Structure 1
Amino acid sequence: MSTPLILLPGDEVPKDQLPHSKSNNPLKVGPGLRLLSQPSAKPTSSNHVLTATQAGILTTDAKRNNVSILSFSNRRYIPAMNDLVIAQVHHSSVDFFHCIVTPHTAHALLGQLSPQLKQGDLVYARVLSVGVGAGAEVEITCVHPATGKAEPGGMGPLNGGMMFDISTGMATRLLRASSSSADENEGVDGLVVLSELGKKLESIGGFELAVGRNGKVWVDCSNAGENEVKATIAIGQCLQGTDEHNLNPTDQKKLVTRTLKAMKL
């Protein structure tokens, strides 16, 4: 088993570590990396120049031809283009909703062409632009800029449910797990808590999940009837417990069983 490659901000990604896809699909650059240059003539994965923008472990997927940084668990989020985030509306102006993405950064701007929202509403959105320099405005969107229609993947208002805080590292792991197929998601990044919760809660209606790279996860169990609140809290506790204690797969399953039993689910 090869030793994981840990990068610090500013480190260049070694070319021999980039995925070598046999397809003609372009290299997909994920969170934590910045593309510095790309040759114009038939670019391949091996001749890209990438640098890290955050500390973490380099992860590659040759099948999907993508590369990203799996960040260490922390609470500070730095917005990056195309990141999925959960934002909360703070107030509105003529052209924008002003939304809280993180408590330590300026409000992000969400265009008024998006669904009508009010103060306190949660919205699942994608980072559209981050600007340049300190204090630059961050713009988010939940509609496709070309069509004006809702983005796929549940973009838009998050009605009902509850929101829980997690680390940015856990958010990245959850997004990777939730984007994998049913056959793949067992054990993605050592994370089995989602699949275990899905199996055990299927009989009461299952649940919906939205994960923001800004360290937020929204859980909705509206199909669980009288068990809605208990199931929602149980899922949040399992996700936070797995995150805070860095549980291995076996302990994640034990935590799910113990938590659901305590909630009488």
Structure 2
Amino acid sequence: MKTDETFRVQPRVWIGVVIFIGYVAVVYAVQALSGIPYTDLDSSGANLFFGAGLSLVISAILLAITTTLLGWWRPALFDRHRAAHKWPIIAPAIMVVGLVLNLVATDWGSYDGAFFAASIVLLLVGFTEELTTRGLLLTGLRSRLSEVWVWLITSALFGAMHFINIFTGQAVGPTIQQVLLAFGAGTIFYVLRRVTGSLIWAMILHGFWDFSTFAVTHGTPGFLAGFGGIFEILAIIFALVSVPVVVRGADERLGAPRAALA
């Protein structure tokens, strides 16, 4: 299928997969070299920045360079057509409610300046993980696969990337739970991309969601703390129900360009 789009490098499945593997490798390497266990990230601002934030800063720079060299910014950030139905936006809207509840329940008094600054850096996770999975990997997959496979593979690999937390100190049980929830959250972010036609909103929601889930576990959370997770599960269920609607009739396959960029 031919399109009007042009790229410096033509999208290929293997390129998207290599970028995904490279991102996971960089994040794991930087976090492992820090020597800070995953379970100790909330001990101080320094632990949080060097144990997690630094890997996001480095990977964000590398991803931006990679996307520019490939010429994939447009297909990574924007769909050609939005989903035909808008009501699936309810799924990410439910997640926003959970996000707000997390922030309301957070013990903000337990934060000092350094810890808060390091926490802000965590917002980069929305840019890095979304650009990697539902941006560049998605672009590569769309060169050959139907949209239902694009959703499934991007969401599954997004969940699977969280297995690296086992190697940085998190127990197996909580990690498996995190992987499953990440698959569901990835589906929510995919639905948000299809409904709005842009990855940018998913980047924003993802960044603030992760910030809120980390924030609420610091210090002594308020009585609303558990409700954020409940709303996340409700949002996941709604998103899974919505997937057939947002993939039906999707015309996002990326074919050979008419002309290559110089």
State which structure, 1 or 2, has the greater radius of gyration over its C-alpha atoms. 1
Task: Write 1 or 2 for the structure with the bigger share of helix.
Answer: 2
Q: Which of the pair is proportionally richer in strand?
A: 1
Which structure exhibits the higher relative contact order, with contacts defined as CA atoms closer than 8 Å and separated by 6 or more residues? 2
TM over 0.5: no
TM-score by length of 1: 0.29
